[in-house]
Structure formats: structure tokens, C-alpha cells
Chains A and B, each alone.
Chain A
């Protein structure tokens, strides 16, 4: 009976391997091969960086000019990660520990909603705020300070990056904090630790996994960045991602060289992340060592008990209350930070004037125009069909994989790792790999191919959610069903499936929104002229944010939020133990 279970699990994991194996692993291998091919004949059109054509691709990929770009990307990654951590941890702490339980879900959704909207939309909001015709510009001109255009600066890129990556830092840290046993803090207080000490010696070590997960996601996301830099500043601020892009979708494509650069960047991002992690670890140790020496000296010079009768518990509570004021304010500020850009976007979509630079008063005409726009309508249709298809595929494949991972079977660890591959690769490399895979088959660059491409990264979300849901699943329920006479299939259908259905639906909704919002992979893999909403918006925003685009963005925003809230409502409906 045990061997039969294992075989079932292997079969359940097969679709995942088939999908990711052919669309991801194989292409990455193909990229390696591609990177050794000769460049196309006609590459006289200037590369971004001028260097000797005789160099091999790899030599070009690690040339000094290239290294400058990588170094810049690395810094962007570090800065973004540091900022999101500094801002994200207190917010996560507030939501998980300080806020009343009633508010927790609401706050979490509030933090997550910006995530559910397209990167393109969010960046265009910042482009609006920081650029010509935006609130800062208007204010500056009104006060007589002249025009203001902050878009093509590193600061703008970093701000946008922090804005986009913040939920990815907050949510894993929140998950870690939520699991924290509060009585541990009481015990620490009882044993003589001040609130600050208790945090460093108890809370921080226990939430480190969440912090590491958040930092990894944010670092990979920001170091490999392309879309934001492109939208904000164009060529003035080349990062590794945009550089890869020029080799594939630029004016003078040079795929072999691009392949080499992509692989080098991927290795570089992951390698630098590991190196930075080790550095942080070493620094942390050093700090701890110093701190304990100092701490010893200080405490020896001070009496152990100060006021005779302050119960330890009260001290802990007072400490928390003191921090409450600071944390609450911070959380509110962050919420403002998250929603003001969206608000600005919405407000400016009502600008009566054609150009962004001049405000002519309120008008809803752009909405009317957007709804009647044939291009927009087509883009919407495309977006929805692709999303429907990829959600279906990823729901099935992801659920099977999630089911398989709940049990032991040969290849389990590898399968668990495979799920993370689409998430861990910088998105540009993912797009490049998918392009490589799909351009090799005649039916590849079609709507169908696009569906499969989306499924490649959406499946991971479904698998992770289903697996998490299964982790708390009571095995004895299955045993009881079998004891009462139900065979394997009946047990699955009558007991297991109804209970994991909310998880499958949650994963499917996640997959749906990720697919609807995707820009980069779509841009790479789509057939010529096949626009989805994000690619449509991107092409319009690149030239400058206009009220018309804002209207479309706002509509898309509203639709996405509606989907998410509907999903959350459905998920709450059923109570399972």
C-alpha cells in the first residue's frame, strides 16, 4: 500500500515536470548553447556599449563596461532591499503583533492590493507623480519654482522599486511573525529581558526565515529589474535587465550575446545574493559579539533590579505600548505611501485636457473613450483569454503538484525545488528562456504558446498555496473515510477535495491576477501585434503618462481589485477546522 501511494505521487508530480522542464529547464540549457553561437551577420547597428566585435560573447558579458552595469544593478538591489526591510519589518510587526486581530485581515489585504495591480500601472503612477504635469511639478510651478521632472533619476527608480517590492517583504515577515508564540515574549520578560532585548534575542531570530525569504525575493526582483527602469528613465540609467532586453527586443538583436549576458546576470544575481547574505551574517555575528561585551560591562555597573515591584509582565506591556505609538504612525505612513500614487493616478484620469502637463478640470471623457477604443477592447479580450487559459492549466498542474508534495516520494525534494525556479530567476531571464523555448516550435509564438508561458510561472503560486493548505490537513480524516468503507478515489473526492477546494480557488485567483498583470513575459513571447492590457499600457506610458492611459489603468485596477475581493469573500464563506 505504501508503494502505491508513492507511485501516485510521482504521477501527480509529472505534469509539473513536463511543463517546467520543457519551458524552463530545457530553454535555460538552450540558452547556454545559444550563447556560444556566432552573432547574426548584420550587427553593425551600434550596441549600447561599444566593444570589440571579435570578443566572444562571454568576454563581452564580463567586459569592464558590463561590470559597471552589473555593479549598478547590485547597488540598486541592495538599496531596495535595505529600504524595504527597514520599512517593511515594522509594518509587518504592527499588523502581526500590535494591531487588534479584527483589523489584521483588513490590513493585510490593504498591503497586498497594490501587489495585485500591474507593475506597469504602479510605475506609471510614480512617473505621473514625479514627472511633468504631476502634482509635484504643478506645485513647484504654482509656487514659482519652475518645472520639475524627477523621472529619469536613480532616486525615481529606487522609489518605484521600493513601492513595488514592499508587499513581497511585508508578507513573508508577517507570516513568520504570525507563527510566533506570544508566550515566549512573556517568558523573556519574566526572565529579565527588556522589550528591546526580548526583540533581539527572541523575536528577531525566530522571524529570520521570513526576513531571509523577503530579502531574497526583493533582491532578485530589484537587481534583475528592467521594466521600471525602462519606463522611468529609458536609456539614461541602464541596468542589467534593460541591457539584456536590448539584445533581444532592441533595434539590433543579438541573441547569442544576449543569451550569454542573461546567463551571466542570472548567475551574478544569485551569486551576489549569496555573497551578500554571508556578509550580512558575518556582520551580524560581529555586532552580536561586540554588543554582548558592551552589554556585560554595562549591566555589571548597574543594579539588577531597579524599582522593587514592577512585575515583569507590566514592563513588557509598557514597552510595547510605547512602541505602539511609533509603529502605528509608521504603518499609516506606509499605507499612505502605498495608496496615494494610485489615488493620484485615478484623480488625474479625470483631467479634461489632452496633455498631462496641463490640468484643465474634471472630465470623464477619457473613460468613455477608453471603453469605445477598439485597441483597448481587443487588449482586454486577449488579456482575459490568456488569463483564463493559464489559470486553468496552472490550477490543474499546481494542485497535482501540491498534492504530490504532501507525501514522501522519490524526487520530492527536487520537485519542491522546481516550484521555486520561476520565482527565483530574474524575470527577464525567465522571459528570455520562454522566448527561446517557444520560438523553437512553430506553434510557439501564438496565443496558445502565451498561455503555456503564463502557466509556467503561475503554476508555482497554485502549488505553493495548495501545499500550504495541505500542511495542516488532518490525515486521520482520510483514514476514517477508508475505515468507513470508501476506496481511494471516493476518499479523495468526498473528503480531501472539498477540504482543499478553498485553497485551490485561492491559488487560482492568485494565478489569475498574476497572469492578468504580467508585462515582461507577454512582451517577449506574444505574436506580433497581439496586445494585452499591460503591453498596451506600457507602449502608451513610455512616451508619457496621459489621462487616457490613466483611465484605462484605473479601469484595470478596479477590475483586479474586484476579482481579489470576490476571491477573498468566497474563501471566507466556508469554515473548515
Chain B
């Protein structure tokens, strides 16, 4: 698998999006986006509805034309190539199975445009169905299939054509929780086995985390962070990404001292800590905003002894939500900032120590703080 550096030879790219811009009636859906997706990578476009991820996917598929910019699929400029001639196939959100054709005919649909002779088609269809664990269902009709089965047929129909790139438009959105989790794992294994580039669109950050090698978090037509899934989750680059990935505990403090890239900050909420800060917030007196993920905050009943290994502050407990696996606490510090603490229920009586409207202390490891 290719490394993370920029010194990758050009032919290593599965899809290159170059400065693509798309407007719909005055609304800019995709605002000058550029991204290089590596060959054989499982890449996700992640973001809320309306951020432009589906539009971008459709532009790659050829179902929409960009107003500006180019699309290159494995060294071939396909910007002006119509959809039916691109080496790219898509799995649609509602599957788009042809209702008047059987499963077998659905899967075989595109084979005649690949130059596959008639005799071979049945074998290819059988192999594709086996790949998605639906062997033997050639004769069924789409309306006699369950949601999960339909999804697999849509997958088989696309994969039987052996595309260079597979595009998936929120493929798991219509499935129930349990099935979705199973399919996430299956898709990941499938991609590994086939070794082709997968580009997935989703609004579910957990899905992106489970399956992707890298992820592009999009907002209002732009990419806010392009990174491995893990880094987007643990070290969000912007406030939007932090909030979208569930890291929305925003804290603000003022710079007291600085030492190169490291600053010491203090807050009226009563804590002092050190942070790795960017260029623009290094001057003493400057306000720095940072986030700490809910599961990285620890709630303790009494003031812990001072230590360089952690930052602590006093809070009032506002709400408690028991959720089985964990308890989510909403607390507020003396500066009025509200935080969420995620506390796994891994010991029997810990949760009983805290009282709503009572006082407690919240601590975190300074290394878990991310400036946004």
C-alpha cells in the first residue's frame, strides 16, 4: 500500500479530481475541489447532506458534467467522456435494479457492451453472484428480494464489468443497523480482495472509519480535511470537522507563554495546560480554541492533585444519560462552557458517585487536545 507522502509517481492514482466546480441554479454544489485518490485505495467522501459529496461522485461517474475542472481515471482524462464509456461503475443508493429483469439479467446487463461473448456471460454472472454470496439467485426478480439482497445484486452488477474504480453512493443507508455493520466489514474485505479503487459517499462517520483508508470531510462544496480516517477522527483540522466527528467539546483559553510551537494557555475556568498551536495563535494574550473528544475526558468526584500529565477543572454536572454501554454526562465549567463526557460503564459503582447539579472535576491528557 502506498505511503502518505507526496512523492508518488502519477500512475499510482486511481482517480484524480482537478479543480472541479459545479453550480446548480446559483448554488455552488462543488466549489473548486481537488483530490487525488490512490489506486487500490478505499476512499470516502464524508459530510452532511448538501455538502456536495454526492454531486462530486456523480461527476466522477459521468452522470453530471462539471462546469470547471477535470477528472482523470488512471491516467486517462475522462472529463468529456460520456458515462457509458467510462471505466467506472456505480452502486446507487436505492440500488436502481431493473424491475422488469431477473437478477441474472440485471447482472448481465452491461456485459454486452464489454465485448463479452454470449457463451461466457452466464459464467461471469455466476462468479459475480458468488462474490457477493448470492449464488443461484439468477432467476429471482428484484421485488422478491430483501433490501440486503438487492444491495448485493447492485454490487454484483457493477463488479461483473471489472471496473477500474467502483463508486458507492450511500450504499448502506437503507439497511438496518445490524445488516449495515455486517456489510461494512464485507465491503472492506471485498475491496481488499479485488484490489480496485473504491470511492464511497456517506454521512455516517462510523461507516467511513470502519471501511476507509482515507477520508475527505466535506462541507459546503469544499474539502475541510483530507486525511486517514483515524487522524480525521482524533485530530480534526477545523471546528466543523471536530463537530461532525463528534468531538464538539470546544474550549477556549488564552496564551500565557510560548516556546516555539508549544504554548502554555490558561483559562478562567481554572486550568492551565500546554498545546501544540498553529502560527496564528502563538502570541501571548491570543485566544486559542481547542477540542477534546468526549471519551478522552475523565470525570472524577474530587479535586485531583496537580500534575503535569493532566489538565483539570471544576465543573457542575448538568445531565446524565445512561446508554447501556456507557454513560454520557453533560457538564459545565466555571467559564460557562458546556462539555460532553463519555464514560464507559466498565466498573460497577463509578456512575453512582456523581449527582446531577452537584460538583465534580474533569481531567484530560494534554496530548488529547487538538487546536481548531
Instruction: Mark A residues whose CB is within 8 Å of B.
Output: 1, 474, 476-477, 479-487, 490, 494-495, 498-499, 574-577
Contact = CB atoms under 8 A, between A and B. Distances in A.
Closest 7 pairs between A and B when the two form their complex, measured CB to CB: A485-B113, A484-B110, A480-B96, A577-B99, A476-B96, A485-B110, A482-B83
A483 B90 contact: yes
B193 interface: no
28 contacts: A1-B65, A479-B92, A480-B92, A480-B97, A480-B98, A481-B109, A482-B62, A483-B84, A483-B88, A483-B90, A483-B158, A484-B84, A484-B89, A484-B109, A484-B113, A485-B85, A485-B112, A485-B114, A486-B110, A486-B113, A490-B113, A498-B100, A499-B99, A574-B100, A575-B99, A577-B99, A577-B142, A577-B143
B92 A484 contact: no
A373 to B, nearest CB: 46
Given A575-B143, A576-B100, A483 B63 contact: yes
Contact of A485 (B65, B96, B143, B161): B161
B157 interface: yes
B63 A479 contact: yes
A476 B83 CA distance: 13
B200 to A, nearest CB: 16
Interface in B91-117: 92, 94, 96-100, 109-110, 112-114
A481 B88 CA distance: 13
B82 interface: yes
Interface in B68-85: 82-85
Contacts of A499: 99-100
B84 A487 contact: yes
Given A1-B65, A575-B143, A577-B142, A483 B98 contact: no
Contacts of A576: 99-100
Contacts of A490: 113
Interface of B: 61-63, 65, 82-85, 88-90, 92, 94, 96-100, 109-110, 112-114, 142-143, 157-158, 161
A1 B109 contact: no
A474 B97 CA distance: 10
Nearest to A488: B84
B83 to A, nearest CB: 5
Contacts of A577: 99, 142-143
B83 A483 contact: yes
Contacts of B112: 485
A462 B74 CA distance: 48
B61 A483 contact: yes
A8 to B, nearest CB: 15
Nearest to A485: B113
Contacts of B99: 477, 499, 575-577
A479 B169 CA distance: 13
Contact of B96 (A479, A494, A498): A479
Nearest to A478: B96
Contacts of A477: 96, 98-99
Nearest to B100: A498
Nearest to A474: B96
A367 to B, nearest CB: 43
Contacts of B85: 485
Given A484-B110, A484-B161, A577-B143, A1 B82 contact: yes
A577 B150 CA distance: 14
B94 A476 contact: yes
Nearest to B88: A483
B58 to A, nearest CB: 8
A498 B101 CA distance: 10
Given A479-B63, A480-B92, A485 B98 contact: no
Name, among A1, A481, A483, A577, the residue most crowded by chain B CB atoms within 10 Å (CB to CB).
Answer: A483
Contacts of A480: 90, 92, 96-98
Nearest to A497: B100
A495 B65 contact: no
Nearest to A574: B100
A480 B96 CA distance: 6
A483 B62 CA distance: 8
B147 to A, nearest CB: 13
Contacts of A498: 100
B99 to A, nearest CB: 4
B189 to A, nearest CB: 24
Nearest to A480: B96
Contacts of A481: 98, 109
Contacts of A485: 84-85, 110, 112-114, 161
A484 B94 contact: no
A468 B89 CA distance: 31
A1 to B, nearest CB: 6
A493 to B, nearest CB: 12
Nearest to B93: A476
Given A482-B83, A577-B142, 17 more contacts: A1-B82, A474-B94, A479-B63, A480-B92, A480-B96, A482-B62, A483-B62, A483-B90, A484-B84, A484-B110, A484-B158, A485-B161, A495-B98, A499-B99, A499-B100, A574-B100, A576-B99
B235 to A, nearest CB: 36
Contacts of A482: 62-63, 82-84
Contacts of B92: 476, 479-480
Nearest to B108: A484
Q: Which of B63, B65, B98, B110 has the most CB of A within 10 A?
A: B98
A498 B109 CA distance: 14
Contacts of B96: 474, 476-477, 479-480
B72 to A, nearest CB: 19
B4 to A, nearest CB: 32
A484 B143 contact: no
A484 B98 CA distance: 12
B39 to A, nearest CB: 21
Nearest to B90: A483
Contacts of B142: 577
A439 B99 CA distance: 49
Contacts of A479: 63, 83, 92, 96
Contacts of B110: 484-486
